Structure 1
Amino acid sequence: MRLKSIKLAGFKSFVDPTVVHFPSNMCGVVGPNGCGKSNIIDAVRWVMGESSAKHLRGESMTDVIFKGSNSRKPVGKASVELVFDNNEGRVTGEYAAFSEISVKRLLTSDAKNFYFLNGAKCRRRDVMDIFLGTGLGPRSYAIISQGIVSNLVESKPEELRVFIEEAAGISKYKERRRETENRIRRTNENLERLTDLREELGRRLGHLQRQAQAAEKYKEYKADERLKKAQLQALRWKSINDGAMSQEHVIGELEVQVEAAVSQQRSADARSEEDRAAQMELSDRFHQTQTKFYGTGNEVTRLEQTLRHKEERAKELVHDLEQLEQGWQEAREQMAEDQSQLEMLEAEKLEIEPELELLIEQEAGSGDALAQVEDEMHRLQQNWDQFNQRSHEPRRTAEVEQSRIQHAEQVIQRLVEREKKLREEIESLGGGDDQEEIELLSERLTELEMTRETQEIRQEETLADIEKNRQALDELLETRDRQRSELSTLRGRHASLEALQQAAMGQDTGVVVWMEEHGLQHCPKLAEKLQVQNGWELAVETVLGDSLQALCVDGFDPVAGLLGNLEQGSAVLLDSSLTSIKQVDKSGLVALASKVVAGNEALPLLAGIFTCESLEQALALRDQLEPHESIITAEGLWLSHSWLRVNRGVDSNSGVLERQQELEDLAIKLEQLEHSLALLDQNLQNLREQGETFEHRRKDIQQQLTDLNRTQGEVRADLQGRKVRLEQFSERRKRLEQELGDSQEQHLMEQERVSESRLKLQEALDIMEYDSSHKDELLEQREQCREKLETVRQRSRHDKERSHQLALRQQTIASQVVSLQAAIERLSQQSTKLRERRELLQASLSESHSPEGELQEQLEIVLARRLEEEEAMQEARSQLEMVEQRLQQYEKERQAAEQKAQTVRSRLEKLRMDWQGMQVRRTTLAEQLKEDQFDLQTVLDNIPEEASEQSWEYELERLQARIERLGAINLAAIEEYETQSERKSYLDAQNQDLESALETLENAIRKIDRETRQRFKSTFDKVNAGLQELFP
């Protein structure tokens, strides 16, 4: 590969497009200093992929672009293209077929690099890969610049090794090795991740497998538990049903017992009613007698109580008289003592009254003096308060007005500044340009919407075309796959038949050698040229036999002299120049030769042979045959006057004609199918191209729609933003104008307030000046009055205390006098009452001894009458008790019958409740079985004979214990286990593929290492030998 030319444009000093040709292997570039000789080799380095501006004698990569001069403008890009001659095909790979290879690099002013290979855009790496191992590169030894030779001589072993590897072409292998190592590293990383996944998945699978097995057992146990529960419910239903039937019988018996007890109870009630009338009569008579007896007893008791009362009353009167005498004597003594104390208190009262009158007069005088002084002090205090209030008001008014003035001035200052800012902001607000932009954007948005609707219609049409294309493509693919399958089947059939045909038509080795020596191997065989009507192939094969392998030649003369060279084997030759042969027909017989459609060479061999449909017909026509004539059927039965031959496929040549015919038919079908497949492939290619066209169109439309939507969104956003901004500007202007008006009004109001406050402040200052001189005079008057008030107040307080003490003593004495007088009066009245009470008690005591004899006689008479009435009452009581005993007996009998009936009824009620409970449980069990989708009778029929509730409950407990031992069950584990197993298989396959790929990459590295060592050693030996020649 040789550098043919360099094309430069805008690169350093080559501002105009320049082409530098290199017509031979050795060329020189000659010119004065500064003409750009070094720029040519810099251009070569640059195109080779140089990325360092220092090696291109610049500060940045954009320095290679022509920056302009006094007479030329700068350019915006630089490009260099190297054209290589590749007639020798030194470049391998996809560019080996090109006689010229163009490498181009383009740099724009925004520092964007573009590489091209033969006009196709590529990467920098693609350019460098082409020149790997050639010695050509941005910093390779092939570009010998200043100092490169000394660098080679002074280079270290590692640096020298790099040059030798480049000369040996090892650099491309090193690059491949580096890529392979990167792939191995990525593969190892993938293997590690995959191993982690597989291990984690393996652990997960183990866990899932256990969960799946537990879930399977759970399902099995639950199904068994469900059946056992149903059977247990059926057993309980049967038990309850039997109990209910037995209870129905017991309930019937108890109902009979209840009726008997009720009958006994009614009989006892009837007898009780008969004696109850007699009881009522006897009871009335007894009550009358008893009433009389109790009345007499009450009279006896009354008389006895009267006698006892009189005796007790006499004793009480004596005791009361004694107490009364004692109380009267005590009252007289107390009255004398109170009278003496009363006289002492009246004497003390007379002594206090004159002194109290004098103190009262002194108190009144000091009180009047105190009132006058207090009035004076009150008047002075009012004057002082009025003065303080009057003097405080101007001071407060002055302070307030001064604060108001300061505040108003500050407000006015702020309002002035605020008005200035508002005017500036109002002036700065725009909006006219936005209104024009809004109108333009609205029109633009309408146009974009119409364009988008048009593109959406095109997109829908394109999608419909794509769907139709995909359907047609699927149909063609299905048809092609079907025809390919059919073609594969036919090809297999054709190959099998052809192998059988070749085996059947094979010849001896000596004949084959003889035919190849004399160029007869291309002569067709009779079987290849022979065509027979359908159904007569077996008959023709039977007649011709080995003659089917006969060679068809153009006359015997050319080959007659060659027969002597055939030393071994047998061969049959047929003359192809024979065009026809006379056929002799017999009445009712058809010659076998007439069944031959093509292959006239066989006609002489078929002469004298006729055909018929069946053996019976052949046997009937045998008498018409000549000795050399024969008849054959379609089934291959061949007979004459004296012989009959049957061929059932024992010979290897049997079926050759049928096979040949089938081969020809298969060849026709294969050709038709191949043609049809070619048309299908062409149609598929057309559909694919059409689909790609539709897809490109769809992508273009989609891209256009995306651009339209983005543009529409941007325009809509801009329009909305401008509208909002215009509205904001309008609202802001109105708000600012309103604020400006409010500020101006407030400015005027604040100025008026300042003027008013200044006037009020001056008035307050004048009043404060007058009050300052009047204050001292008021303070002096108030202090003198306060001292005088204190003296008068102390004197008045002393007089008031003395008079108050005497008044209290006088009141105490007066109250004591009143109390004593009242006590004396009360004692005098009490003494009078006691005297009257004593006289009354003495009279009552004398009267209480007179009527005791009369009461005693009345008592004895009443006692005798009470004895008579008591005997009558006893007799009535005995008769009543006899009747009551009979009633009690009847009541006991009734109660016994009632108790028996109640006991039986309670038992009956309990049995009925139990029976109803059994009915409910029986119905509930039947409904539960129905809800669980079990038929009660079917379950009962299928229950084993040895089944019982206890055994089935035990079995259910065992099943429930097994289910509980299973623990938490994940029913989704079965499906998840299958899914994760498939994933595990897939990951295992991936792991196997990665390990295989890793092994392949390691083999590739070993191969690369082996090849590079061999190349390096060979190159190193050559370099060493060359250096030995140069420096012996």
Structure 2
Amino acid sequence: QTQGQLRERLDSLEQQANRARTLLDNAEAEREAARERLAHEQEQSETQAAVTAQFADTLPEAEARVRESRLALDAARKLAAQSSQAIELSALRQRNAQNSLESLQIRHDRLKAELAGLSSIDPSALEDRREAVAAGEEVEAQLQQSLEEADSRWRELDAARAPAQQALRESEASLARTDARLSALRQLQQRLESQSKVQPWLQRHGLERLARLHPRLKIESGWEAAFEATLRERVNALELGNLSMLSALASDPPPAKISFYSGEIGAPAAPHSPSLRPLAALAHCPDAGVQAMLADMLSSCYAAESLDQAFRDRNTLPAGGLFVVREGHQVGRFSATLHAADTEAEGLLARLQEIDNLAREQRAQQMLVDDARGHAVRTESGAAEARATLESVREEHARRLRELSSLRLESQRLEQEASRLAGSRERIVSEFEDIAQQSEQFQATLAELADEFETLDAQLGETQQLAEEHQFAMEEAEADLERRREQLRQAEADARESDFAVRSTEALIERLNQATETAVAQMRAAADERSQIDSRLNDISDSDAREALQKALAGRVQAEAELGAARQRLDEVGQQLRSGDETRLAAEREQEPLRERLHALQLEEQAARLNGEQNTAQLLEASVDEAAQAALRERFAEPLPRPSWLQGEVTRLTNAITALGPVNLAALDELTQARERQGFLQAQTADLNEAITTLEDAIRKIDRETRTLLRDTYDTVNRHFGELFPRLFGGGEARLILTGEEILDAGIQVMAQPPGKRTTSIHLLSGGEKALTAIALVFSLFQINPAPFCLLDEVDAPLDDSNTERYAEMVRAMSAQTQFLFITHNKIAMEFAEQLIGVTMQEKGVSRLVAVDLEAAASFAKAA
């Protein structure tokens, strides 16, 4: 069995050796093929390296051609852009000119329609209006003259009203005085007659209606006392037709002396000495019988101018004759009597003469009053008529003025309308000329712009053609550069693949060498083991063979295990090799996009470099200062944005500029005008602010001065109010209270407390107390600035007598500075007045004034 195992082991070793030799042969063959492939790949790698170097050498030249093409393309595009901008500007100017022409045409049509719509003014109507205005002006001049005459007439009559009224008042006053004197004398005469002792006796005998002598006598002025002293009781003699009737009355004698006379014409009186003047000659009577009777009564009485004359001529008197002087003294040849009033009835003839004279004077004055009243009425009616005439003329003048104004306005309107129409026609014609001139200018401009547009269009075509050529050349250069770069990339890829293949083949050969060495080692080990087994089979016994076999079997098991481990390691190495190949293939697959990305980055870097060079060239062409660039670089030391972001911003700004539309060439002028307008408005605003400041200062100054003046006035009025109130009320106190902090906005509250009251508001006072408080306040204001006059209308109506007296006393005290006119029905107030003016209505609807000077009336009353 040991031998069998050894045999099996030998067979196994033989098989293993055979497999090893097979593997060794296969590895040798594969290694030989790998060596041949390695030589080929090394040769190909060298060739690819040479091709790559060749392509790398031609790439800068292609890149230079691309840069030159791009610079030429940029220059051509710049020229094309300039030409395009010039064409757009020319097109814009053409559009503006065309729009201006269309606007001019629209304006022309509008003006044509406006000219057609202008109405015409009839010259005859305008001339008629002018003639009407001229006629109206003549009428107005005449009415103006009439108005001036009427006004002058009214002023004359109105000026005459006052003298007429004054004359009427004077005549009425004189008449009133005469009436008063006459009435007093008549009352005195009637009283004396009624108090006569013989009056009852006369009434008893029915003789009271007999005519008396003195009313029938007309005595020369100044001789009344002489006749009264001579005639004595015969002055009141009663006319009795038959004196013999007195014998029947002898049984009932009168209580006092009484005389009767008869009006019968008796024998003529004895002649007098021509040197003597009979006293009877100084009396006149229309009744011849009475005149004869009077001559008989005074037959022995003669008139003498004075006592001296009477005493001097008394010797010329006849027997029983008497000289009577004006004063009533009597001088006879041997006697003299001095006359004196011994009774109240003395002065009858003088009184009667005065009554007669006053009656005549009254009639005369009444006539004067009537004349004055008539004159005043005529003056008043004349003034009223003149006023009515003036108003009528004024109304007519105003009406004519309105008509004339209307005519003038209508004429002015027509003239203005005609002037406006003429101006409009002239303006339209002028605008037509301007439109024609501007149209010609715009037509010429359009023609010039059309020529310019054609020229610029041709230039644009040339520049675009040049740009296209440069574009085509740049595209060809870029395509050639891209082709060369692609060839370079392909050559580099092929070179890398060749290098990788060489490295892979060398690694394979190395692995094959290692596998061959391993297989050779295993074969040697197997051969050694087989030799040992054969030797042992030959040398050992069965037992030894069995032990050896067991050992051999154990060794075989171990060798098989080692072989299995080696095979496992070989499989692992093969697996690792396959995994490495897969990793290599995956890396090669991932390497291609990275290679393309690297190539794109290289292209972008090259484009950026070209753009930098172009920008540098443009900066040099623009003569940009290096120092300024350095300052900008220092200023913007931070990392600049990415070119892609900048390109996006450029695109965005370009789109925004495109969206803005055509360039407004008048924007600078409009901006200048707007800035000028802004400056003007700012200046106006500054002026307004300055004016506001000035006004505010003035208002503050006025408020300050007003506040001071108002405070002083308030204090003064309050002080006077506090002084006058106790004078009117006989005590108490009053004051003014401001109802606010600011005096300019504060109200004023009147606090009045009459004696014995503690009122807190003026509303709690009675009507009379309120009236007196108001009077005190008004008079307090008068203390500051006295008025020329003051009119008080029944202020004392609610006052009692004591308050009225205090009120009247204060009015009289303040009349030293102010003239007071007060209307009152109170007698106490009237007593304090200096002159009363009453209004009477003797006839219905006719009011008359009656003025009384109280001082003059009091003097007259005392004199009477």
Q: RCO greater where, 1 or 2, for CA within 8 Å and sep 6 or more?
A: 1
Bigger-Rg structure (1/2): 2
Q: Normalised by the size of structure 1, how large is the TM-score? A: 0.37
Q: Normalised by the size of structure 2, how large is the TM-score? A: 0.44
